[in-house]
């Protein structure tokens, strides 16, 4: 974790896993494990249909002095309302107490054809409704092998900045998630991830030093209890976005532990 004052952010992206019962049990175990700790901010990203259940447990936990948990959605629609069957707006997320939303996750980009343009609009809509984007960017293996990582990341990042403005990054978390590392067990090496995070920060600092220093840049892609410590030791890696390993209480708690 950084020596600067950035508070770590660890996101548990549950994807389309678990029943309501499983989810509430997992949450209770997380609360038990985090009692008395409030270093890192821990984002819980359950499936849409469980958001309200999780919200109400988070409220109870907060009243019982369990701090640091925040609620996020796994997706948001770019439109404010209308005939978009099956979709959820940012206003609706805010309405049920969602503070964050994952936007641009590679599964959304690749499986559902989300474009940079659409992702930028989602970020704008979220921000207009007090929902903070966790903007995910990442290169494919092919792009990595062609030496295009930074070019792709900046293209993805700039397409959002063009629409929401640089200042809006004060309300975002940026997640670097190499596509080839997600769900594969092949995490990026912490040193390589650090190098990329540092390049992203340096790029932003050319435009605004304060924003670049404040922005939390987290790493995602096969983060587990046994590699989290190495990621957490890197100065520009301010947390993690965790998929598979966030479904096991003990493992996720161990990951969180390294960031405080």
Give the contact letters, 50-79, x = binds to ligand PGA (CB under 6 A), - = no: ------------------------------
Shortest distance, CB of residue 235 to ligand PGA, whole angstroms?
22
What residue number has its CB nearest to ligand PGA?
243
Work out the number of other CB atoms within 10 angstroms of the CB of residue 66.
Answer: 20
Which residues in 160-199 contact ligand PGA (CB under 6 A)? 177, 182-183
User: Is 105 one of the annotated active-site residues of the chain?
Assistant: yes
Classify 97 in phi/psi space as left (phi over 0), alpha (psi -120 to 50) or beta: left
Nearer to ligand PGA, 91 or 99 (CB): 99
d(CA 13, CA 206): 32
Q: Kindly name the residue from 41, 78, 105, 139 that is annotated as catalytic.
A: 105
Backbone angles phi, psi at 30, to 5 degrees: -65, -40
Q: Estimate the crossing angle of helix 225-232 against helix 249-258, to 10 degrees.
A: 10
Residues within window 205-234 making contact with ligand PGA, judged by CB under 6 A:
220-223
**Marked catalytic residue, from 41, 107, 139, 177:** 177
Touching ligand PGA, residues 2-31 (CB under 6 A):
13
Q: Nearer Cβ to ligand PGA, position 61 or 153?
A: 153
- Contacts by residues 154-162 (CB-CB < 8 Å, ≥ 24 positions apart): 154/200, 154/203, 155/116, 156/104, 156/116, 156/119, 157/200, 159/116, 159/117, 159/119, 159/120, 160/104, 160/116, 160/119, 160/120, 160/123, 160/133, 160/135, 162/120
Q: What share of the chain is helix, strand, coil (3-state, %, to 5)?
A: 50, 15, 35
197, exposed or middle or buried, with CB in 10 Å at 0-12, 13-18, 19+? buried
**Residue 61 or 103 with smaller CB distance to ligand PGA:** 103
Q: Which is nearer to ligand PGA, 223 or 234 (CB)?
A: 223
Q: How far is the CB of 1 from ligand PGA (least distance, A)?
A: 19
Active site residue 197: no
| Number of residues near ligand PGA (by CB under 6 A) | 13
243 part of the interface to ligand PGA, by CB under 6 A: yes
Q: How far is the CB of 63 from ligand PGA (least distance, A)?
A: 30
Whether 110 and 149 have beta carbons less than 8 Å apart is answered as no
Of 244, 252, 257, 259, the one binding ligand PGA (CB under 6 A) is: 244
- Residues lying near ligand PGA in the complex (CB under 6 A) are found at 13, 177, 182-183, 220-223, 241-245
Q: Which residues belong to the active site?
A: 105, 177
């Amino acid at each position: 974790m950084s020596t600067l004052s950035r508070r770590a952010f660890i996101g548990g992206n549950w994807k389309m896993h678990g029943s309501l019962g499983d989810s509430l049990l997992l949450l209770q175990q997380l609360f038990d494990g985090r009692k008395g700790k409030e270093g890192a901010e821990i984002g819980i990203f359950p499936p849409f249909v469980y958001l309200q259940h999780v919200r109400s447990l988070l409220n109870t936990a907060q009243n019982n002095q369990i701090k640091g948990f925040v609620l996020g959605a796994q997706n948001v629609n770019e439109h404010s309302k209308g005939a978009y069957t099956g979709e959820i707006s940012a206003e609706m997320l805010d309405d049920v107490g969602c503070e964050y939303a994952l936007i641009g996750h590679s599964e959304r980009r690749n499986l559902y054809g989300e474009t940079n343009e659409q992702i930028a609009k989602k970020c704008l809509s979220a921000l207009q409704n007090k929902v903070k984007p966790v903007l995910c960017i990442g290169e494919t293996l092919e792009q990595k092998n062609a030496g295009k990582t930074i070019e792709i990341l900046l293209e993805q990042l700039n397409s959002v900045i063009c629409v929401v403005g640089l200042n809006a990054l004060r309300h975002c978390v940026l997640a670097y998630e190499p596509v080839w590392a997600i769900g594969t067990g092949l995490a990026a090496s912490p040193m390589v991830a650090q190098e990329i995070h540092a390049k992203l920060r340096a790029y932003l600092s050319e435009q605004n030093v304060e924003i670049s220093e404040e922005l939390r840049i987290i790493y995602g892609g096969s983060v587990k209890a046994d590699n989290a410590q190495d990621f957490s030791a890197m100065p520009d890696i301010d947390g993690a976005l965790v998929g598979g390993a966030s479904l096991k209480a003990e493992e996720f708690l161990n990951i969180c532990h390294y960031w405080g």
